[in-house]
Structure 1
Amino acid sequence: MYVRQWHYVETTPSGQPILRENEKDVYVEHSVGLYQGKSKVKAKQKGRAYLTSQRLIYIDDVSPTSDSVSLELDDISGVEYSSKFLKKSAKLIIFLKEQDNDSTCNVQEPKPIKSQWICPICMMGNETNGEIDGSHLPLPACMNCGISPDYEMIKNSISTLQDNNDNKAPSDNSDNVCPACTFINHSLMSNCEICGTRLPAALSNSGSQSFIDSRLKIELEGSDGLTEGEKCYIQLSFRKSDGVLLYQSMDKVLKEKEREKTLNVFNKGASSINGVEVERLKSDFTLVENKMSQVGIAGLEKTQENQLIRNDILMNNALSDLNNLMALASDIEKLYGAANKPEDKNKTPLLIIDREKFLNKSQFIDEIAREIYGFIMSEFKEQKEKDGVILITLVDIYALYNKSMRIGTGLISPQELREACEKFEKLGLNELRLIRINGRVLCISSGNSFEFVKTKIIEIVSFSPGADLLRLTQSLNENNSNSWTMGIIMEVLQNCVNEGDLLIDEQISGIHYYMNSDWKI
């Protein structure tokens, strides 16, 4: 059994959480264990806790893809801190809000499970009692064509749901309107698809069916001690730190969210509504003056003061009109740029990795290593899919990463970049590794990339004797623009010459390369 507030978390290949739209990370805590009630959660005792503006995310260090979970901040009622005592580690106790009016503790009880699947023969939708997996053979036959399908053919179309005894009809989509952007979401969505805001339907826990996410794995080592009438809670156990910073950050974020709910003041600071001015000083003052105020030095000073006020109002109005004009021009420019810029469907909000969020340099380097790994796998995805390998110098990675990811959050040094790349294997990021070419040039490589490039260059030289560096670069990057940098190609050529695979012919026009078929070393 597990509390309903757990949710599955999608992660990057490097083990970092994928944030929603408008979601920002606040703090990261390393070496964290997860408890439900008083019991440990299996396979979730060594990981990292990410506090964001919308969720508390646990990312497991061993299996980040399958064993990572999250809690919505809207489902949390409060937090308490338990300090370290003797062998007992410091803990952060997180109390969950009530979601069901019938009981205080929202622990899921076993309910009848039904599976829905689509027949690959006639495309008929079928519903079967129980959960379907590869271990249950033979599979039930289709209601329409009567054919029992193969599990591999229907596994992608299987959806599991719990059958409640309530006879309530599923809520209409119109009841699941986002309070922030007014987008009408599907009735089973818990967060808005557009802006990521928590939806009212998720907060009220309405609906007659509650779907089970088969990716969510929560197994307890023993009894969690949660009883009816008692508030549900989970705990984060801190292995190497006291966890005070996470507690303070989380308490601050929760208080800020509660404060924002009471600040729904509409038209705040508006100068006009529907073209009608709310409050504006008139440039023409009606001065109630008597004859005595217009006489002498006092009258002259009063007239001068009124003139200064009129000039000030006139200048403010002119600047306000100019600001409105510039804002309109900026909006038009953004609209024009968005219309001509190709849409990146894979673009997701990024974590902001600041040094201030980490207790020591080692934790900062670990997180930088994960981000660099994800950046390389994303930036060179096309090359990896086409050639199967990646090879790029550490100098190029330093320039690309700092320019693309670190502007505004603080550049990293070359030494920090090298330390981060050396931690790939330790963090379980095994597709990339740091190698040294020709005993001098540090590179990031996947697989046997050096031999791959070397073989390609030898093939090009064998078909085009006398090819120079420019010709080789153009031939290698014929399909993928700038996938293989000139620095990599020069180092591979030098290796080919040193090992006797190629010969060089130095001329005024440059260096030309030929196959060495007569003078093997």
Structure 2
Amino acid sequence: MDLPSVTTSVDGTIPIEALLFQGEDLLASQDGVGLYVGNDKLPSHQCGTSHLSSHRLFYIDSPHPTRRSFSLNLSLVKKTEYYAGLFTSSPKASLFLSSDSSDDLSPWTCSLCGFRNPPGFSAVCGLCGVPVPTPVQNLVPKSRSSNACTMCTFINHPSLATCEMCDSPLKRDGDGPSTTSSLLIKLSFRRGGDKTFYADLKRALMTKAWQSLMTPHLEPPQASLGTSSGISHILSLNQSSQSTSNVSLSLALQDLQALMVKAKHMVNLADDLSSRLSAVESTTNNNGDFPEGTSSLLSDISNLAISKPPSLESTPITLEMIKNRDEARWLKELAVELSSVLHGIQVKKSDSDTSNPDLLPLDRLWVSWNRARGVSLIPPSTFLDVLPHLESITNMRIRIIGQSSIKVLYTPHFSLPSISQRISQILPQPLTPTSFGTSERITISLSQLLLSEVEMSDGTPICRDDWESAIHVGVGGGVLETKYYPNVFVDYVWDGHSE
């Protein structure tokens, strides 16, 4: 059993939206659909997806989308029936079709301009106005051989009802429907969705959107429009499309300009808010009275990056400003600029309780520098090239903490001997990463890395009480914070070792 000849093959690998014509809308889609032709199941079309548009019905086969997918014009559907299913029988939608091709609604491509015209009764191309080519078979008059006898093939006169030779009844054009004049296709819904799909199908058949393509638009002729065909029509369409694009571009640029104005207003508002909060903070610090909620508000604003970035003393330096575009000199000038940013950070955070300006992760420093430069951004590679020049200008140094890959910029205050000396002053009280981070105004993760680095150094003043790997009576194994105590083993002389 094959598909009816009224179907049109389509490429199922193309998205369904790309298969639709201009003015054709997608109404519904349902997967898990099988097909019947008449009452016989079509074995090659039992796993596919059915799409319903305002003009056509599509079947996209899942196993073979390029060979077994097709479309069917809804104008050929004369009657529909719905079967709700029973027990193991799936719901079905029956489509009774007419094979009468007198109302040809198939799409056609213009032989002159190549424009793909949608299906309809338009007699000319929608782009260039060339008339639709008439099929040759339509120009040939109907032959008298149509009244030939089916038994002896004798050509009888059209007015005769029986054959002159064998008296067999002759077939007339209007003697009832033939076997091909009425066709039946059934859609079997194996995964549900039948009621919604059938309701959309009935609505599309009642709307008959394809008839809008048949009805000519009766508009009064206008001299300004000129001819509606030929090269002038193509040029006018191109000019209209170009003017539409220009209008869209102008509107987009206006929206962008309005957005830029709004963004500038937001930046000014953020600067004003930051300055007011800074004034409130300084006033409360002098009076010793801090309002409730101000601390959390300042922290939230800092997290949102609303706080005012360090400002540069001059215009940001670019490579084009350096004579002969000397990159080495440019890096040195950038190092001087970065030192001014560092100075601003240290001045701003010297009284802060949230971070220590003497120990800066490189990512935060890079972000602060780019915020100070504005639109003249510095890439990470250039930033890393500038850092070695910074050591000759400031007292800041770069190092990797412990065995981690974290690079920080630090002052001598956070050198290893200085940290060891401050830890010795805190002992013999138990020392934890949290308490050490609080006293040094650094994060707990950095505090843990610094303590591990001090512990691994020669002559370390601390000794770890590794609670994490111990088993305690009544407690069992647990994860608690590591504690550090004075290293009383540093002066011991062990057997087998010389002093």
Q: TM-score, normalised by structure 1?
A: 0.32
RCO comparison, higher one (Cα < 8 Å, 6+): 1
Structure with the bigger percentage of helix: 2
In our comparison, the structure showing a higher alpha carbon Rg is: 2
Q: State the TM-score, normalizing by the size of structure 2.
A: 0.34
